[in-house]
Structure 1
Amino acid sequence: MITLKNDFFEIEILKRGVTFYTFKTLNDNKDIITGYKDMKNYEHNPHFLGSFVGPLSGRTEMNQYGMNLEPPNNLHSGSEGICFKEFDAELLSNTQAIFTFDDRDIFYSISIQLLDNKLIVNVLARPRKSMPINITNHMYFNLEESNTLKDHFIKLDALEYSHVDKDLFNQYDLRKVKNTVFDLNSMVPIKELLNRNHPQFAITGHIDHSFKGNQVTLRTETKQLKVTTTTPFIHLYFANYFDQSFLDKKNRYAHNHASVAIEPQWLPNDPNLPIYSSSNPFFETFVYEITYI
């Protein structure tokens, strides 16, 4: 495990999947991400807690991109995804580390740095042959270290979102968020949001959707997390299916909607995903900024 620390944060990262295990804000000594009590759960990590996922994040149809994907649909690249790979780690300083992994097709390099009140992540993936790549991180956030989001507010700057079909695949005719539950352009109390309904929720349980935007803000009465990204989409997932299936780090059964996954990425399963190569590698930046109110 690698530990990074400055005056604002203390962060622990597992080499397996470059998985954030703790993300502690030192001003109030709270760990703001969901994790398993039992470390053995990270071997298979059924909820992808804290991990980087790829080379294809989200759900990908088996025959998409002409790649050898696991049937019937490929979630976060399946059993061969990077969340199950042991990365090499180099601690550059107390505030910066770099994680690398070289498989048969792609060389990965993930740089993680603490800079004042920001966590800055740079993700590089250099394929040996031309292919689509779509990597994200799967941290679930709860700023108060509680087991509910009902005291949180959320804002996501986006005019459009991608609806899903019955098999949870993203559709590419983006829909307007205006006058729908998906309109998060002003700060929305999550307590109210979770009481709203939409026909899509018969499939997803609640919001589990990609928004065309690159900034989201999660806040409580005491602090705020702003996530910005160079990717064109952010996927939100409100832990609709935790179903008390594991004990969290506080020895509590994790409830549905206990935290929210904020996943910067391109649109999963999009046939027009960019194609990367050794001379044109995948490179994206995610920034997580904490301020106190």
Structure 2
Amino acid sequence: MSVSYKQWGTINDEPIYLYSLSDEIVVKICNYGGTIVSIQAPDRAGKLDEVVLGFDSLDDYLISGFYHGATIGRYANRIGGGVFSIDGVEYDLPLNDGLNHLHGGFNGFDKRVWHAEIIDDASLRLSLVSPDGEEGYPGVLDVSVVFTVLGDRLEVDYFAVSDRPTVVNLTNHAYFNLGCSNTVLGHDLWIDSDYYTPVNNGLIPTGVLEPVDDSPFDFREKTRIGSRINADHPQLVLGNGYDHNYVLNQVGNPQISVTDLTSGRVLEVSTTMPGVQFYTGNFLDGKENGRNRVIGFRSGLCLETQFYPDSPNKPEFPSPVLRPGERYIEKTVYRFTVVS
């Protein structure tokens, strides 16, 4: 295990650093946006190679609009109409996704320079303070994210406290591609989930928990992603593919796995969060060039562990409200193995 770093550039004369956490996998993290820049994991022959989409230069992250590898906050995913209420007080947020608020707004945590601290030979802590009223959210929010590489695992621990009632939903927006294909449609996916949250034409959940039975959304048995993505299903039409929250069945053991049979790589994800957004890169447009590949339509998939989208406006969903005296503590683990 080891942690090293180098200066990667500057933003407004402030140095930006790239940190490398190494063990059986190698993870590179930038303190701009709390960004996972790179994850290298071995294939069945033991060869390390890249398994996330991204760039070799800081400048590319500054101009990209696709949240590559970024830490998302204060509220990951969408809030309908950019408005929510806590204790009868209404808060208005900027609309940066049509008529909705997405991923914390125009200046979310993905665009902040985080304070970085190497904790030990396996861990990096990133922290920031979000002032009261930033992007419309109430309360001074003190946030930290700890990235730890142990063996074949990347562990991501999220912490936050607030001096006023607020909403918090932190996640990471890495795009995974476990092989060398230009799409992830050949990957096999398993999700331990009996329900998903269908959306309206603004991709805001309707509030219904829809059973996955007899639908293209059923991944309770390992299924090829591309086998049903173009099915004539109204929800797939709305999302132009998969862009939906799944209600996870359990906490602790892996709830999600992705397999690329060509390379032999397997990604297992476990989380304390109640949901995961499975997104197949339907808005990636091929205008960005990443590391030796065009970042095109469905070339990566996201597994954004989260509170459900629009939960601040859906009392029937798990609550993302954080109050003074409470502590937001959540964890997501990414484990990289190979098929036997």
TM-score exceeds 0.5: yes
Of 72, 83, 91, 1:63 maps to 83
1:47 aligns to what?
Answer: 66
Confirm whether residue 78 of structure 1 aligns to residue 98 of structure 2: no
Q: CA deviation at 1:204?
A: 1.1
> How do 1:1-293 and structure 2 match up within 5 A?
1-6=18-23, 8-26=24-42, 27-61=46-80, 62-65=82-85, 66-71=90-95, 72-104=99-131, 105-213=140-248, 215-221=255-261, 222-250=264-292, 252-270=293-311, 271=313, 272=315, 273-293=319-339
Query: In the superposition, relative to structure 1, how do residues 193 and 202 fare at CA in structure 2: closer, same or farther (>3 Å)?
Result: closer
Q: CA deviation at 1:46?
A: 0.7
Structure 2: distance between partners of 1:193 and 1:47 = 25
- 1:65-101 deviation per Cα after TM superposition (whole angstroms, max 9, x unaligned): 3223012311101122111110011112332111111
Structure 2: distance between partners of 1:56 and 1:45 = 20
Equivalent position SS for 1:83? helix
Structure 1 stretches of at least 4 aligned residues deviating more than 4 Å after TM superposition: none
| Mapped contact 2:288–2:296 kept (Cα < 8 A) | no
Of 267-276 and 82-91, more deviation after overlay is shown by 267-276
Structure 2: distance between partners of 1:141 and 1:69 = 30
| Gaps in structure 2 of 5+ consecutive residues | 1-17, 132-139
Structure 1: distance between partners of 2:180 and 2:272 = 28
| Mapped contact 2:32–2:113 kept (Cα < 8 A) | yes
| Mapped contact 2:37–2:69 kept (Cα < 8 A) | yes
Equivalent position SS for 1:78? coil
Equivalent position SS for 1:283? strand
* One-letter code aligned to 1:68: D
With normalisation by structure 1, the TM-score equals 0.95
- 1:80-136 deviation per Cα after TM superposition (whole angstroms, max 9, x unaligned): 211111001111233211111112121111011011211111001111211111111
Larger radius of gyration: 2
- 1:216-236 deviation per Cα after TM superposition (whole angstroms, max 9, x unaligned): 100122121001110010110
Q: CA deviation at 1:175?
A: 0.5
Structure 1: distance between partners of 2:144 and 2:194 = 32
- 1:182-204 deviation per Cα after TM superposition (whole angstroms, max 9, x unaligned): 00100001231334331122221
Of 110-119 and 42-51, more deviation after overlay is shown by 42-51
| Mapped contact 1:37–1:247 kept (Cα < 8 A) | no
With normalisation by structure 2, the TM-score equals 0.82
- 1:240-275 deviation per Cα after TM superposition (whole angstroms, max 9, x unaligned): 11121211111x322211110110001011223232
Q: CA deviation at 1:277?
A: 2.3
Paired positions, count: 291
| Mapped contact 1:33–1:145 kept (Cα < 8 A) | no
Q: CA deviation at 1:44?
A: 4.4
Structure 1: distance between partners of 2:47 and 2:211 = 38
| Gaps in structure 1 of 5+ consecutive residues | none
Query: In the superposition, relative to structure 1, how do residues 45 and 67 fare at CA in structure 2: closer, same or farther (>3 Å)?
Result: farther
Of 211-220 and 229-238, more deviation after overlay is shown by 211-220
* One-letter code aligned to 1:241: F
| Mapped contact 1:170–1:268 kept (Cα < 8 A) | yes
Equivalent position SS for 1:186? coil
